[in-house]
Amino acid sequence: MNANDEPVIGSNVTMGKGVVIEPGVVIGDDVSIGHYAVIKRDTIIGKGVQIGDLVVLGKMPAGNNKMAMKPAQELRPLIIGDGVKIGAHVVIYRGVMIEQDVLIGDLASIRERVAIGKSSIIGRAVTVEPKTVIGNRVTIQTASYITSDMVIEDEVFIGPCCSTSNDKYMGCGNYKHQGPIIKRRARIGNNAALLPGVIIGEEAVVGAGAVVTKDVANEQTVVGNPARPIHKKQERS
C-alpha cells in the first residue's frame, strides 16, 4: 500500500464500532458511519452523508461460469453524493454513482454500473441490477425489483413490490437484454410486473397487479393481466 492509497477522512466524521475503511477511501466532512460498516477500497463519500450499521459499500462483483463478468478493475469507484442517507444492511457495488440527497432504505442492494439522480428514494429491500439509469426525484418503494438495462426517468413513482424483467427468452437466447423504459412522471402500482423492453409513457399509470406485456402510451392508464387501457371514467375509485 503506497501513500496515495491511505484513506482521506474529513472533519467531524463520526464512526461506530468496528468500522472497516479500506485503502483509497475518501470521506467528506460531517459524515456519520454506523457500527460494523464496511467501506471497500476507493469509495468516495460526499459531505453530510449518513451511513447505517452493517453496510457494505463499494463491493466488487463476483460471478460464476455462466456469467462473463467485467473485471473489477474496469469499474470506477462507488461515488456517493453530498447529503445521501443510507440505511442498515445495504449493499452497494463498485461502479455506482449516487447523486446528492438520495435516500436508500435498509436492506436495499444496488449492483455495479448504476446511476441514481438527485433526491431519489430507493426503498427498503429494493434490488437494482447492473447498468440501469435512475433519474432525479424518482421514488422506488419497498421491495421493488429493478432489473438491468432499465431507464427510469425523472419523477417516476414505482409502488411497492413491483417486478421488472429484461430477458424475453428466460435464459435461453444469445441476444441483448433490455429492461423496461419508464418515462417521466409515470406511476406504477404495487406488485405490477413489467415485461422486457416495454416502454411506459410519460405520466402513464400502471394499475396495481397489472402485467404489462406491451408499450403504454403517454398518459394512458392500464390494468389487468395482461394489462389493457381503461377509459378515464372507468378508473377505479
Residues 66-95 that bind a copy of itself (CB under 8 A): 66-67, 85, 87-89, 91
Per CB under 8 A, which region of 23-31, 41-49, 71-79, 182-190 contacts a copy of itself?
Answer: 182-190
Cα distances (angstroms) measured from residue 137 to each of 99, 117, 120, 121: 11, 7, 4, 7
Which of 53, 112, 149, 153 binds a copy of itself (CB under 8 A)? It is 53
**Which amino acid, one-letter code, is at 176?**
K
Place of cell 477500497: 41
Per CB under 8 A, which region of 23-31, 41-49, 57-65, 71-79 contacts a copy of itself?
Answer: 57-65
Which of 47, 124, 131, 184 binds a copy of itself (CB under 8 A)? It is 124
Q: Cα angle vertex 150, ends 148, 154, to 5°?
A: 140
Q: Which long-range contacts (CB under 8 A, 24 or more apart) does 222-231 make?
A: 227/192
Site for a copy of itself in 140-179 (CB under 8 A): 142-143, 145, 147, 157, 159-161, 163-165, 167, 170-172
Query: Are 166 and 182 contacting, i.e. CB atoms less than 8 angstroms apart?
Result: no
- Count, residues near a copy of itself per rule CB under 8 A: 73
Query: Are 22 and 40 contacting, i.e. CB atoms less than 8 angstroms apart?
Result: yes
The smaller minimum CB distance to a copy of itself, of residues 44 and 90, is found at 90
218 binds a copy of itself (CB under 8 A): no
Which of 13, 15, 72, 103 binds a copy of itself (CB under 8 A)? It is 103
Per CB under 8 A, which region of 7-15, 23-31, 48-56, 73-81 contacts a copy of itself?
Answer: 48-56
**DSSP annotation string for 129-182:** -TT-EE-TT-EE-TT-EE-SS-EE-TT-EE-TT-EE---TTTT---S-----EE
Per-residue contact string for residues 2-21; x = within reach of a copy of itself by CB under 8 A = --------------xxx-x-
Can you tell me the distance from the alpha carbon of 41 to that of 35, in angstroms, rounded to the nearest whole number?
A: 18
Per CB under 8 A, which region of 5-13, 41-49, 73-81, 101-109 contacts a copy of itself?
Answer: 101-109
